[in-house]
Structure formats: structure tokens, C-alpha cells
Amino acid sequence: MVDQALDDYRPFYSIPTLPFGKKYEIDLDKAVYDRPNMYFVNVPLETLKELAKKALLDNQPVWFGCDVGQESMGDNGLMAPEIRDYSALYGMDFDLSRKELFETYSSIPTHNMVFTGIDIVDGKIQKWLVENSWGEKAGKKGYSSMTDAWFDKYVQVLAVHKKYVPKDVLALFDTKADILPPWDPMFHLLNGE
């Protein structure tokens, strides 16, 4: 049983191909037939990180969605860009920016997990502790270590309690949403298609 009021949590995405600081709704995208369309506020990546950091430092886990298959070693519990050096193997650069990953549909949210810890050195985030739902045989007894650089590329969405959200950002949820049609590329990204 969940002992939290789920209505107190807010969904945030960081999609570099859409303007930040706006609320979006995807037409005809519903988890339950008679419920509202899926909606979110789009924020810069730095805001996404700050929201997660605030909750974690208050000893609260943070639900997030990411592209778990990218540059990770699930059996070892490691999530780091360039964990495999394909550039050296093939003699060409495969690196894409976060924006390019979205523009080319090369990264979509494929799995949800929970942040349970954060490693900060000299005020800078180094790593994130991730608890997965795949059981203790995956990673290190069900946990993975994500570098902050991996977050920069592959974490797309998180939900946090509204008490961690600055008032000006929280107010965006009370604004009229820009409606994205079901054929909009963002619809496909959000639904893993």
C-alpha cells in the first residue's frame, strides 16, 4: 500500500526539442480510459537534477524514467557513457548530444526505476544510486551506480513531491497546457514506440 497522496507528486520531463518552462498535454494519451490525458512540465536538465537532489537529500526516493539499454552494464550495475568504446573499435565518432538523441529518436524512456541515493563531491554531483525492479540478481543486489554524465544523456522524466518544487515552477501546472497531437514525435517518445 502506498502511504503517500499521489496527487502531491508532479511529473517533469526535460525534452530539449520543446520549449522549457511550459506545461504540455498529449491528446488521447491516457493510462486509464476515463482519466485526463497525460501531462507534464518541461524543464531544463539542471532543474530536473535539482528536484531529484532536493528529495534525495531529504531521504526521499525519486521515481524516474530513462533509456536503460543505453551505455549500461546491467549485470554489473554500471551506467556510464562510453562504457564500451565503439569509437575506437569502428574508427568513427558515435557521440550524440542530448538534443540530437531526441531529434533522431535514438533515445526514449524504456524503463522506470528509483533514485535512492546521491554522491556529491565538493558540491558537484558525481553519481546516483539506482534501485531497479529486476530483483537482486541484476546489478549489485538490485542496485546500480549511474554517473552524472549518464543522467545528462539518458534520464528523461521524474516525479517528485510538490514540496521540493520551487513555487514559480509549480505554478506552471496551473497554466493552460500546449496540446501535442497523438502523432507528435513526443507521443512516441513517451510511450516507448
* Domains of the chain and any CATH numbers: 6-190 (3.90.70.10)
Sign of the CA dihedral running 157, 162, 163, 167: positive
CA distance 74 to 85: 17
CA distance 114 to 47: 18
Contacting residues for 87 by C-beta, under 8 A, at least 6 apart = 93, 94, 95
Tell me, what DSSP letter sits at residue 128?
Answer: E
Q: Cell 535512492 belongs to which residue?
A: 116
**pLDDT of 192:** 45
Strands (E), the chain: 9-13, 22-26, 39-42, 62-66, 72-73, 78-79, 111-121, 124-131, 143-147, 155-161, 178-180
Phi, psi of 39 (to 5 degrees): -140, 165
pTM of the model: 0.87
Show the low-confidence residues of the chain (pLDDT under 50): 1, 188, 190-193
DSSP string, 41-75: EE--HHHHHHHHHHHHHTT--EEEEE-TTSSEETT
**pLDDT of 193:** 44
pLDDT per position as a tens digit, 130-171:
998 888 888 888 899 999 999 999 999 999 999 999 999 999
**pLDDT of 1:** 38
Q: Which residues pair with 42 in a beta bridge?
A: 13, 22
